[in-house]
A and B are shown apart, each in its own frame.
Chain A
Amino acid sequence: MSKSKFNVVNPDDIIAHFGADTLRMYEMFLGPLEQSKPWNTNGIEGVYRFLKKLWNLFLDDQGNLKVQEAKPTESELRTLHKTIKKVAEDIERFSFNTSVSTFMICVNELSEQKCRNREILRNLLIILSPYAPHIAEELWSALGEDGFVVNAKFPDWNDDFIKESSISYPVAFNGKTRFNITVSADMPKEEVESLALSHEEAEKWLNGGSPKKVIVVPGRMVNIVI
C-alpha cells in the first residue's frame, strides 16, 4: 500500500494529514459497524471536504465569525430538527454510518440556506461533537460559548419544525404521471382530489370524460382512473 496515495493502514498518517475528526468520521462512514468492510481511502477526501464546509458555515476565509443573532427561518429549523432526530435515533440503535450522511445533508442544506444563525449552528455543534469533538470544541469557542461543548446538553427535537408545510403530489392518469400539484401538508383528501381534477392540465387528460375513480394516497400521490 502506497503512502503517497494515503492508502495506508496506520491511523497516525491519516491524523497527521486530515486530522483526528476526519479519521473518526471516515471510519464510521465506511459502513455499518457490525459489518466487515474493506479499507479504502477513496472517500476520505469527501469527509474532509464536509468538515471544511462545516467550518465555512461559521468562519469566513479570514477567520472572522459569520454568525449572526437572528430568528431562525422555518427551513433552518426544519433542517436542524430533523438532523437532531435522525442522529439521536441512529446512535441509540448504533447506526453510525447513517449519522455521518445525515450530517453531510444537514451541512449542505444549511449552506444552501446561507444559514448564519447562532441558535441553529450552536445546536449543530452539540450534536456533531460525539463524532468530531475537536472541531466542535474549536467552533464552540469561536462562537464565544462558555465551557466545553462536550459538557453541553443534547438538544431535543421538535416534531412541529420537522413537518413539511407543503407537499408535492404527482398526479397520474391510469398510472402515468402527468403533472404535479403542490398543496399544504395538512390539506384533506377531498380537497386534494378536487384540486387535482380542477387543474388546467387535467382537462386535457380527462378528455371531456369524467373519472371512474380517484385514488389519493395522503402525502404520496393521486391516481385518476378513466
Chain B
Amino acid sequence: MEPNFTEIAAKWQKKWTDQEVYKVSHKSDKPKYYVLDMFPYPSGAGLHVGHPLGYIASDIVSRYKRLKGFNVLHPMGFDAFGLPAEQYAIQTGRHPADTTRENIARYKEQMNNIGFCYDWSREVITSDPSYHKWTQWVFLKLFGSWFNLESNKAEDISSLENKFRAEGSASVKGACSEHSPFTAEQWQGMSEKEQRDILMKYRLAYQDYATVNWCEALGTVLANDEVKDGLSERGGHPVEKRQMRQWFLRITAYAERLLGDLDTLDWTDSMKEMQRNWIGKSEGASLRFDLTPSPSPQERGEGSSTGVGNSDLTPGPSPQERGEGFVAGFSPQERGEGSVAGFSPQERGDTFGFIEDSNAEYHLTSPNLFKVLIPRAKMMRSNMTPAEKLLWEELRSSKTDFKFRRQHIISEFIVDFVCLSKMLVVEVDGSIHDQTAEYDEGRTEELNKLGFKVIRFQNSEVESNLKGVIERIVESCNSRPTSIISKDNLGIVKDSEEEYSISLLLPEGRAGVGATQPNEYIEVFTTRPDTIFGVSFLTLAPEHELVARITTPEQKSEVEAYVQVAKNRSERERMSEVKRISGVFTGAYAIHPFSGEKIPVWVGDYVLAGYGTGAVMAVPCGDQRDWDFAKHFGLPIPEINEGVDISEAADPTKEAKMINSDFLNGLTGYEAIGKAIEAIEATGFGKGKVNFRLRDAGFSRQRYWGEPFPIVYKDGVAYPLEESELPLELPVMEDFRPTGKPESPLAKASDWVNVDGALRETDTMPGYAGSSWYFLRYMDARNEESFVGKEAEGYWQDVDLYIGGTEHAVGHLLYARFWQKFLFDKGLVSKPEPFRKLINQGMILGRSNFVYRVAGSNSYISKDMLASRPNLSGFTDLR
C-alpha cells in the first residue's frame, strides 16, 4: 500500500493545531530559545519555492531545540504596510486592507501546508491597529527623548528642558541638528513655540527639511527606487527634487554604539562588514576655511585680501531673529565706544578667540591684544598686592568649588580674577582704583557687555574679612548659570559644529549688543589632514547652503544654471559617471588656514551634499576626482610628495616624504596626519574629528498605506497625542490616490485631519517602522497594556537565531538594532542587541539563468536557444 504523504501531512497539521502543540508560554522552568524568521511582505503572488528555504531551516532548528528540552519561541507574522499594496489597490480599485487580508490568508495556508511549528497565537500583522498602536507608541517615546552625549544614551526630553531652564544650553551635550547657545534666562523668556522649535532639534524623532522626489506629471512624491535617471519609473516623467519638511529618526546618535556592539554578535563577517561600511566611520579632521570678504562693488577687482576678517557677505538673520542672542567674532568697530584703554581698532585686531598662553590658560581676546597684554599680565602676576595674594591663596587650586584664574586677559583688559565657567570677574581695588572710578565704570560696562558679572572688593575688606569676601564670591558664582566658557568646557566650544569662532553668552536683555555676523566659512571634513598644503581649491556640492550666498554677481547665472541641472541627477549617476567632469566657479575665495593664500571656491556635483559637510578641500595630487577636476578646469596641482609622479594621475600615497608643506616637510603622510591635526587644533581652525557615513533615517512617506503619525499641529507646532488616544487609525478613504500636490493622500481626509482646532500630520511612517520592533511583540503579542510585558520580555529577552535574506543587511537590521538600543536606554527591554545569531539563507535561482550542455558535446547553449532547437537535447550538469 502506497502511503499518501499529502494526506498524512494534512492529518497531523490538524491535530497539532487542534491540540495547540506549538503554543508556548514564558511561564516555564525550561531554558528559552527564540528562533525567528524575517517575516514576509504578503504580496499577491503567494509563496515561491525560494521563500520556504529559510523557514524550513528555522523550523528544523526550532523542532530540534524543543526535542533538546528548550522552551522554543517560533512565531510568524506579516509586514503588511507598504507601497506595493497601495499601488495594487490603486490599480484594482480595491482597498489595501482587503487585499492585504486576503494575501495573508493565502500565505498562512501555504505555510501551514509545509507544517511549520509556529505559535500562531502570537501572530503579528504590522498594519493591524492593535499592533501599530505600539509602533506609534514607540514613535512617541522617540519623539519624547533626546540623546545625551555625556551619558551616551537616550534620556527623557524633560531632562533636557530642565537643563535649559536651569543652565541654558551651554552645559548641554546632546546629539542635535543644530546647537544654539542661550542662557537659562533667555530660555525662560522664550515663547512655547520657540522652546519647542529648539527641543525639536534634539528629539530622537524630529522634523527637518529634506529633499523628496516630486513628480509633477504623476502628482506624487516618489520613493528613491521609483526614480530612474531623473525620470519616474512609471511613465518616464521628469522628477524634480524638492525640499519638504520630513520626519527623521536620529540614528546617527547611536552610530558609535551600533558599530562597537557588532563585535558582540555572532554574525558572519561579511554581514558585519556591510553594516560597518554603512555606518562608515572615518577619522580625520574637520577644518574651517574662512572666506575672503566679498568686495563692495566699488572695490571689486582690487583684490582685497584682509585675512580672517569679519566678512559680511550677505546679511543673514540677526541674532535676535535667530533666537540666539550671542556675539561671535565681534569687531571692535561695531562694539563702538568703551574703548577706554585706548587701543585703536588696528591694535585690537579683528577677531576674538581663546588664546592659550604658556600656562595653558585660555584668554578671550584678539591675537594682537594678546601679544600686547600678556607681558603685562605676567608682570602683574609676579607683583600682586598683599590683598590680591591673600585672595588668590583662597581662590586658587579650586579651594572653592570654582576654578579661578588670576591676571587674566579678557578683551582689552587684564582682570584680577575670573571664574570663566560662571563668567564672574572679581576685582580687588586699592588706592589706584579710587582715583579711576570713571575708568572702572567703563571697564565694568564693557565686561558686562561681554556677559561677565563684575564684583569689586576693597583691599581693606579682603584683609579684614577674607572669609566674608569668599562667601560673597561663592554666592555670586552659585547665582550664575554655568556658561560655555570654562577650561573644562572649552572642548565644547571648540566641538560645537557651527561655531569655531568663540561665542560669548550675554545676559538677558543684552542680546545682540555690539553683535555682528559671524564670519562666513566653509567647513570641510578630511581623512587626510596631512595633505592640507596640497589644497588648491574647494568644491561645494550643488546643494550646499553657501552656494547661493557666496556666489558673486558675475557668476550668479552660470552657477544657478549648473545647480539646477545637478539637482535632478541622482546621487548614483553623480558618483558613477566619473568621466563626466562638470563644475562651475562661484567667484568666491577662501583663505588657506596656514599659508593664508586665496583658494578659489567651486561647485561640482562629484561632491555629495549628504556626505561629510557637503564640501571638500580639493587635493588634486592625492585624489583622482580632484585631479580630474583640476586638469579639466586648469586649476593648479601642487606637489606635496617627494618623488611621486602626478603628471598622469593622482597618487594618494601616505608613504612618501612631504614637500612644500611647511611644518610637515620631511614627514611621511602617516606621520604628518597627527601633526597636522595638532596644528589645526592649535590654530583654532578645526579639530580632529570622527565622521560617519550614516545619515539620520528619513521617516516620512507621502503615502496612504502606512502608520499615521500620532502628531497634531497647533499653530505649526508639533504636539504628540496622548497614549490613551492610540491607536490612531487610518481614515477610511474611498480615494487615496495622490493629491496632485506634494503632500500625502491623507491630506484629502479633511474630517480626519481637523481635530479641535489642530491639524493632524498627514505623512505616514515608512515600511521599516513596523519591522523595527516586531520581534519584541511576538514575546507578548496579545498584551493590551504594554508593547511587551516586562515578565515576558525578561524571559525571552532576545532572538537566539534569526534567519533571513541578505537584502536586509543594512536597512532593517540596522533600524531594528537602533530601536532595541533606544528601548534598552529607556529601560524597556533587557538586552542592548536584538539578534544574537544571524544566518542569511542563499537564494534559490530560477532555471532560466543557466546554460545547458548540449548532449554528447562540450558546447553550451542558453535555455532559450535550446527551446528553439527541438532536435538538440541539453543538460545542466548541476545536481
Chain A residues close to B by CB (< 8 Å): 1, 7-12, 14-24, 27-28, 30-40, 42-43, 48, 51-52, 55, 59, 61-63, 88, 91, 94, 96, 126-127, 129-131, 133-135, 137-138, 148, 150-154
Contacts of B53 in A (CB 8 A): 27, 30, 33
A36 contacts which of B4, B52, B114, B843 (Cβ < 8 Å)?
A: B843
Q: List 5 A-B contacts (CB under 8 A).
A: A12-B113, A27-B56, A94-B61, A138-B8, A153-B69
Given contacts A33-B53, A38-B876, A130-B63, contact A135 B110 (CB under 8 A): no
Chain A CB within 10 A, most for which of B4, B19, B62, B68: B68
B49 at the interface (CB under 8 A from A): yes
Contact between A150 and B21, CB atoms less than 8 A apart: yes
Cβ contacts B20-46/A at 8 Å (1 or 0 each): 010000000000000000000000001
Most B CB within 10 A of own CB, among A9, A23, A133, A134? A134
Question: Would you call A96 and B60 a contact (CB within 8 A)?
Answer: yes
Residues of chain B lying within 8 A (CB to CB) of residue A1: 846-847
Q: Contacting A38 at CB < 8 Å: which of B54, B61, B110, B878? A: B878
Of B1, B12, B47, B840, the contact of A133 (CB 8 Å cutoff): B12
Question: Do residues A9 and B49 form an inter-chain contact, with CB atoms below 8 A?
Answer: yes
Cα of A150 to Cα of B849 in the assembled complex, Å? 39
User: Known pairs A21-B115, A23-B56. 19 more at Cβ < 8 A?
Assistant: A9-B50, A10-B48, A11-B114, A28-B57, A33-B839, A33-B841, A36-B845, A38-B845, A40-B878, A48-B5, A59-B3, A130-B67, A131-B60, A133-B63, A134-B13, A137-B15, A138-B11, A150-B63, A150-B66
B9 part of interface (Cβ distance < 8 Å): yes
Complexed CA–CA distance, A17 and B11 (Å) = 16
The residue of chain A having its C-beta at the shortest distance from the C-beta of B848 within the complex is A1
Known: A11-B49, A38-B850, A39-B847. A134 touches B841 (CB 8 A): no
Take A38-B876, A153-B69 as given contacts and tell me if A135 and B8 are in contact as well, using a CB distance cutoff of 8 Å: yes
Asked if B117 is at the interface of the complex by the 8 Å CB criterion, the answer is: yes
Cβ contacts B111-141/A at 8 Å (1 or 0 each): 0011101000000000000000000000000
B418 to chain A, nearest CB (A): 65
Known contacts A18-B5, A137-B12; A12 and B110 CB within 8 A of each other: yes
Cβ contact within 8 Å between B5 and A22: yes
Instruction: Compute how far the CA of A41 lies from the CA of B505 in the bound complex, rounded to whole angstroms.
Output: 75
Q: Please, which residues of chain B bring their CB within 8 A of the CB of A27?
A: 49, 52-53, 56, 844
B579: interface (CB < 8 Å): no
Provide the bound-state CA to CA distance between A127 and B850, in Å: 36
Partner of B12, one of A24, A34, A138: A138
Name A140's closest neighbour in chain B (CB-CB).
B12
**Cα–Cα distance between A21 and B3 once the two chains are bound (Å):** 13
Q: Give Cα A145–Cα B849 distance, bound, in whole angstroms.
A: 48
In the complex, the answer to whether B8 meets A30 with C-beta atoms within 8 Å is no
Q: CA of A10 to CA of B69 in the docked complex: distance in angstroms? A: 35
Name B56's contact: one of A28, A42, A43, A127 (CB within 8 Å). Answer: A28
Q: B115, A134: Cβ atoms under 8 Å?
A: yes
* Chain B: CB-nearest residue to A87: B64
The answer to whether B69 and A21 have CB atoms under 8 Å apart is no
Give A39's nearest chain B residue, CB to CB.
Answer: B844
- B868 in contact (CB, < 8 A): no
Please state if A23 and B60 are interface contacts (CB–CB under 8 Å). Answer: no
Tell me whether A129 and B8 are in contact in the complex, defined as CB-CB below 8 angstroms, given that A27-B56, A33-B841 are known contacts: no
B879 sits at the interface (CB 8 A): yes
Residue in chain A with minimal CB distance to B839:
A94
Complex contact A130–B846 (CB within 8 A): no
Does B842 touch A at the CB level, under 8 Å?
Answer: yes
B48 touches A9 (CB 8 A): yes
B844 contacts A37, CB within 8 Å? Answer: yes
Q: How far is the CB of A72 from chain B (nearest CB, A)?
A: 21
Closest Cβ of chain B to A101, distance in Å, is 13
Closest to B840 in A: A34
A24 to B52, CA, bound (A): 8
Instruction: Give the shortest distance, in Å, between A153 (CB) and chain B (any CB).
Output: 6
Known contacts A11-B49, A150-B21, A153-B67; A40 and B876 CB within 8 A of each other: yes
- Tell me, in angstroms, the Cα distance from A30 to B623 when the chains sit together: 47
With A and B bound together, what is the CA distance between A166 and B66 in angstroms?
37
Does B16 make an interface contact (CB < 8 A)? yes
Name the B residues within 8 Å of A134 (CB-CB): 5, 8-9, 11-13, 115
Chain B residues with CB under 8 A of A32: 842
Q: Closest CB-CB distance, A25 to chain B, in whole Å?
A: 9
Q: Which chain A residues lie closer than 8 Å to B63 at the CB level?
A: 129-130, 133, 150
Contact A91 B61 (CB under 8 A): yes
Give every chain B residue within 8 A of A28 (Cβ-Cβ): 56-57, 60
Alpha-carbon distance between A28 and B55 when the two chains are bound, in angstroms: 11
Report B114 CB to chain A, min CB distance, Å.
5
User: Does any Cβ of A come within 8 Å of B298's Cβ?
Assistant: no
Query: For residue B13, which residues in chain A have a CB less than 8 angstroms away from its CB?
Result: 134
Q: Is the CB of A130 within 8 A of B59?
A: yes
When chains A and B are docked, how far (Å) is the Cα of A13 from the Cα of B61? 25
A10 near B49 (CB under 8 angstroms)? yes
A111 to B241, alpha carbons, bound, how many Å?
Answer: 70
Is A154 a contact partner of B68 (Cβ separation < 8 A)?
yes
Quick one: given A21-B9, A28-B57, A134-B5, are A150 and B117 in contact (CB under 8 Å)?
yes
Give A48 to B520 CA distance when docked, in angstroms. 76
Interface centre among B15, B114, B117, B268 (most CB of A within 10 A): B114
B801: nearest chain-A partner, CB-CB: A94
Measured between beta carbons, the chain B residues less than 8 angstroms from A10 are: 46-49
Q: Enumerate chain A residues within 8 angstroms of B840, measured Cβ to Cβ.
A: 34
Q: Could you tell me the distance between the alpha carbons of A28 and B876 in the complex, rounded to whole angstroms?
A: 20
Closest to B48 in A: A9
Nearest A residue (CB) for B22: A150
CA distance A43 to B878 in the complex (A): 11
- Render B423-462 as a binary contact track against A, CB cut-off 8 A, 1 for contact: 0000000000000000000000000000000000000000
A19 to B845, CA, bound (A): 22
Cα–Cα distance between A24 and B63 once the two chains are bound (Å): 13
Is B479 an interface residue when CB atoms closer than 8 A count as contact? Answer: no
Decide if B60 touches A91 in the complex (CB within 8 Å). yes
8 smallest CB-CB distances across A and B, nearest first, come from: A19-B5, A130-B63, A154-B67, A36-B842, A134-B9, A20-B9, A130-B60, A36-B843
Q: Is the CB of A37 within 8 A of B842?
A: yes
Name, among A36, A130, A135, A148, the residue most crowded by chain B CB atoms within 10 Å (CB to CB): A130
Contact of B3 among A40, A52, A94 (CB under 8 A): A52
Known contacts A11-B47, A33-B842; decide if A133 and B117 are in contact (CB<8 Å): yes
Q: Collect the chain B residues with CB atoms within 8 Å of residue A39's CB.
A: 49-50, 844-847
Contact B57 A20 (CB under 8 A): no
CB contact under 8 A between A55 and B3, given known A11-B110, A15-B113, A21-B9: yes
B6 on interface, CB distance cutoff 8 Å: yes
What distance in Å separates the Cβ of A103 from its nearest Cβ neighbour in chain B? 12
A88 to B846, CA, bound (A): 32
1/0 contact string of B48-87 vs chain A (CB within 8 Å): 1111111011011111101111000000000000000000
Question: Which A residues lie within 8 Å of B2 (CB)?
Answer: 52
A39 to B846, CA, bound (A): 6
Give the docked Cα–Cα distance between A27 and B19 (Å): 28
Q: Chain B nearest CB: distance from A141 CB in Å?
A: 9
List residues of chain A with CB within 8 A of the CB of B850: 38
Interfacial chain B residues near A62, Cβ < 8 Å: 1
Q: How far apart sit A208 and B1, CA to CA, in the bound complex (Å)?
A: 64
Q: Are B6 and A19 within 8 A (Cβ)?
A: yes
Q: Is the CB of A133 within 8 A of B115?
A: yes
Q: How far is the CA of A88 from the CA of B2 in the complex (A)?
A: 31
Chain A hits for B845, CB < 8 A: 36-39
User: Shortest Cβ distance from A37 into chain B, in angstroms?
Assistant: 6
Chain B positions 489 through 515: 1 when the CB is less than 8 Å from some CB of chain A, otherwise 0: 000000000000000000000000000
List of B residues within 8 angstroms of A152 by Cβ: 67
- Which residues of B sit under 8 angstroms from A91, Cβ to Cβ? 60-61, 64
Give the docked Cα–Cα distance between A121 and B754 (Å): 70
Chain A residues, CB < 8 A from B3: 52, 55, 59, 135, 138
Quick one: closest A residue to B837, CB to CB? Answer: A94
